[in-house]
Amino acid sequence: MAIIPLRAWYVPHYEPLRSLVQRPHDLRLAKNSLLKSALRADFLDESAAVQDSEWFQRYLSGEGVEFYVEGSGSYAIANIDLISHEIYFTKIDMLSSLEPTIFFSHQVQQPQSSLFIHEALTAAIAQLNGKSRLPLTLVLAPRATGAPLKLKGSAMTQLRQSLLFVADVGCVVQDLPSPQVCVEVGYALQCKRAEQILLVAPTAEPGEGFPFDVPPSQRLTARSSPELQQQMPGAIARSLERFHLFHSSASVPS
């Protein structure tokens, strides 16, 4: 039976899938078995080349080593045998499926509130992009008048694929945020990690204006645009820390 090699790319840090697969692959595999949460394969490269690779040295030092295997997704190396050429992977969350975007859920009932959050986000992204490996872009939630939100629509796909979700949870009626914002926050709570969600209540008193369960580190309050612009770069940088976007030599705002 002919062996059909699978290409695998070493992922030392977050990189969008579309750019990851454009560079040369780092390993060739012959799949032996595929389970829901694991993959067993033979590597087809020379043992000497594998032993000299950066990723193998990281594996020996006890670090987590991630690979994207074409057609299968993202995996971490669990065990490798240079003699038998066998390698075992465990399934992990596929960070490469995310886009380097920040999704902003704004409200239209009190547009001035979302306007100064938008200004703070725009200024923060411009500042952080000078320190980032990948340029961040801002995506605004669509707000078509009278159109219902669709969980399977393109807007929710953009939300799900963003690195960071930011929402204006300022109250608009009866101490509640905008209905559209509430739906999008609820969806974000289901599909994103807590540190990928940042809620902003522009005029809330401390401890108020946050009807959603997120850590205090993922909440911002500010009574003025300058105050929010001062806080926003540091809040974004902390939220995106796991993606290692910012150069270590760069000074990221606190």
- Name the residue ranges covered by the structural domains of the chain: 6-95, 98-243
What's the CATH fold of domain 98-243? Rossmann fold (3.40.50)
Q: CA-to-CA distance for 207 and 221, rounded, in angstroms? A: 9
How many residues make up the chain in this entry? 254
What is the structure's pLDDT at 125?
Answer: 97
Q: What 3 state SS string does the chain have?
A: CCCCCEEEEECCCCCCHHHHCCCCCCEEEEEEEECCCEEEEEECCCHHHHHCCHHHHHHHCCCCCEEEECCCEEEEEEEEECCCCEEEEEECCCHHHCEEEEEEECCCCCHHHHHHHHHHHHHHHHHHCCCECCCCEEEECCCCCCCCCCCCCHHHHHHHHEEEEEEECCCCECCECCHHHHHHHHHHHHHCCHHHEEEEECCCCCCCCCCCCCCHHHEEECCCHHHHHHHHHHHHHHHCHHHCCECCCCCCCC
Residue 74: phi and psi, rounded to 5, are -100, 140
Q: What is each CA distance from 121 to 12, 20, 32, 53, 69, in whole angstroms? A: 28, 27, 47, 40, 35
Rounded Cα gap, residues 90 and 66, in angstroms: 10
Instruction: Specify which residues 165 forms β-bridges with.
Output: 103, 197
**Model pTM score:** 0.85
What is the pLDDT, as a whole number, of residue 1?
Answer: 47
Structure tokens at 28: 């060739």
Please give the C-alpha separations between residue 58 and each of 12, 15, 51, 86, in angstroms, as whole numbers: 10, 18, 11, 18
Tokens representing 122 are 């725009």
Angle between helical axes of 179-191 and 154-161 (0-180°, round to 10): 50
Tens digit of pLDDT at every position of the chain (254 positions): 456 789 999 999 999 999 999 999 999 999 888 788 999 999 999 999 999 999 999 999 999 999 999 988 999 999 999 999 999 999 998 899 999 999 999 998 888 889 999 999 999 999 999 999 999 999 999 987 666 666 667 889 999 999 999 999 988 877 788 889 999 999 999 999 999 999 998 765 544 556 788 888 899 988 788 899 999 999 999 999 999 999 764 455 55
* pLDDT at residue number 207: 46
pLDDT digits (tens, 9 = 90+) for 141-199: 998 766 666 666 788 999 999 999 999 998 887 778 888 999 999 999 999 999 999 99
